[in-house]
Amino acid sequence: MTDSLWLEVDGLTVQVLTGIYSEETHLPQPLRISVRAKLAMADHYDPTTPLSASKNYMHLKFAATEGIPKDVHFVLIESVADHIIDTLFLQDEKVDEVEVKIVKLAIAEDGEAIGITMRRVRK
């Protein structure tokens, strides 16, 4: 097994214009988004290691919130996940892999988590 470093932002609630049904297409709906990004690791992290040796986790939060265009209708939540992944790959070459989990909160009836998990490796 190799060493790995994953930055994570979990459980963000974001209003996104998405969906295929007529009741979904005119208003944003709440999605619960979690993002994990695997980074190229430094050999060692000591108390004085600068942030440039890692990544600011607020960039993950931005990609899953403010980085999603408010005026674009994403037919599938898969396209929302792809947009987040593309944003993170463009931000930083140290990002080797991204995993995005999206749960559609509006369709849950008994608190179940209905959605997708997408993982992409930098090519």
pTM across the whole model: 0.92
- Say how far apart CA 69 and CA 33 lie, in whole Å: 15
Read off the pLDDT band of 1 (50, 70, 90).
low
- Better-predicted residue by pLDDT, 54 or 86: 86
Q: What is the mean pLDDT of residues 108-113?
A: 86
Model confidence over 10-38: pLDDT tens digits? Answer: 999 999 999 887 666 778 999 999 999 99
Give the model confidence (pLDDT) of 88-99 as tens digits: 999 999 999 999
CA 44/CA 27 separation, integer angstroms: 47
Taking the CA atoms of 104, 105, 108 and 112 in sequence, report the sign of the dihedral they define: positive
Mean pLDDT of 38-65: 93
What does the domain layout of the chain look like in residue ranges?
A: 5-121
Q: State how far the alpha carbon of 32 is from the alpha carbons of 11, 27, 28, 103, 121, in Å.
A: 6, 16, 13, 5, 22
CATH code of the region 5-121 = 3.30.1130.10
Percent of the chain, pLDDT > 90? Answer: 76
| Of residues 84, 80, 65, the one with CA closest to residue 115 | 80
pLDDT above 90 (res 105): yes
56-68 pLDDT, tens per residue? Answer: 999 999 999 999 9
Cross-strand partners of 12: 33
Report the mean per-residue pLDDT for the chain: 93
Q: What is the pLDDT of residue 21?
A: 72
Burial class (CB in 10 A: 0-12, 13-18, 19+), 105: middle
| Alpha carbon distance, N-terminus to C-terminus of the chain | 21
